[in-house]
């Protein structure tokens, strides 16, 4: 029995409206599957796993998206738009420091809701031109945001854009490590980093409580089990 997902099915061999409709359905199924898997497991998910989740063959996946970068570009285009929009919103804030704080919180919240996007923000994809163009747009806006926040006297002069990259990397690690065991831990991390970056006298949002000892213990056990599973897969 064949289907539109099989490499040798009529939908893949014959041109016409039917092929275009099947191809578009396959593309949407692949994107939906990739979004689910990337959100829950990060970008380490294999293309083969995405094909299985989507219910299509590897050949069908390759025809729609020849490389992982192409797939990542398609999956996260809207998230990168939201990332750029967060920068624009922060720049529009009449209070530069408030805008800076809001930007940091918004971007880290995006990471927390989607592990795949957490990876995207901490990595570069030179072959994903559209994705990188939006990242560059947001980055240039962030540089302006930094300059304004420093000029207001509320952001430390020794802060650099690279400090934000470090936070994104650390936040991605915290999100991956804590999972559902201590899901708000990232908020504590962001709050502490804002305090480290703030100049004396800067207004700061309330600091989230530290995770409860039991929640943190569950997160540590979860992290250890995840690491053991990875080691087993490599053997």
pLDDT at 226 over 80: no
Residue pLDDT, tens place only, 9-24: 444 444 445 557 888 8
Q: Which domains does the chain have, with CATH numbers?
A: 10-75 (1.10.357.10), 77-234 (1.10.357)
Task: State the virtual CA torsion across 216, 221, 225, 228 in degrees, nearest 10.
Answer: 100
pLDDT in tens, 131-145: 888 888 888 999 999
Query: 163-199, pLDDT tens digit by residue?
Result: 998 998 899 888 888 878 888 999 999 999 999 999 9
Distance CA 205, CA 194 (A): 9
Q: At what angle do helices 115-122 and 77-92 cross, to 10 degrees?
A: 70
pLDDT tens digits, one per residue of 95-137:
999 999 999 999 999 888 887 877 777 677 777 777 888 888 8
What's the confidence (pLDDT) of residue 53? 94
Q: What is the pLDDT of residue 83?
A: 87
Six-digit token string for 91? 């720049």
CB 39 within 8 A of CB 115: yes
50's CB contacts (< 8 A; 6+ apart) are 30, 33, 34, 37, 61, 71
């Amino acid at each position: 029995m064949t289907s539109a997902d099989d490499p040798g099915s009529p939908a893949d061999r014959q041109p016409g409206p039917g092929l275009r409709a099947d191809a578009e359905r396959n593309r949407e199924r692949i994107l939906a599957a990739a979004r689910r898997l990337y959100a829950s497991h990060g970008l380490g998910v294999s293309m083969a796993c995405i094909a299985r989740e989507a219910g299509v063959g590897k050949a069908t996946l390759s025809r729609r998206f020849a490389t992982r970068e192409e797939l990542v570009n398609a999956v996260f285009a809207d998230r990168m738009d939201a990332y750029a929009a967060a920068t624009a919103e922060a720049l529009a804030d009449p209070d530069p420091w408030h805008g800076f704080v809001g930007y940091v919180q918004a971007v880290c919240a995006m990471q927390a809701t989607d592990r795949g996007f957490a990876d995207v923000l901490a990595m570069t994809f030179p072959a994903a031109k559209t994705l990188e163009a939006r990242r560059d747009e947001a980055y240039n806006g962030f540089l302006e945001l930094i300059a304004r926040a420093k000029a207001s006297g509320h952001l430390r002069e020794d802060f650099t854009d690279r400090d934000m990259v470090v936070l994104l990397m650390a936040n991605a690690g915290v999100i991956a490590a804590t999972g559902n065991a201590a899901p708000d831990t990232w908020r504590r991390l962001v709050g502490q980093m804002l305090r480290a970056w703030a100049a004396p006298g800067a207004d700061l949002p309330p600091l989230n409580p530290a995770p409860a000892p039991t929640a943190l213990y569950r997160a540590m056990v979860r992290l250890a089990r995840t690491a053991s599973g990875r080691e087993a897969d490599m053997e």
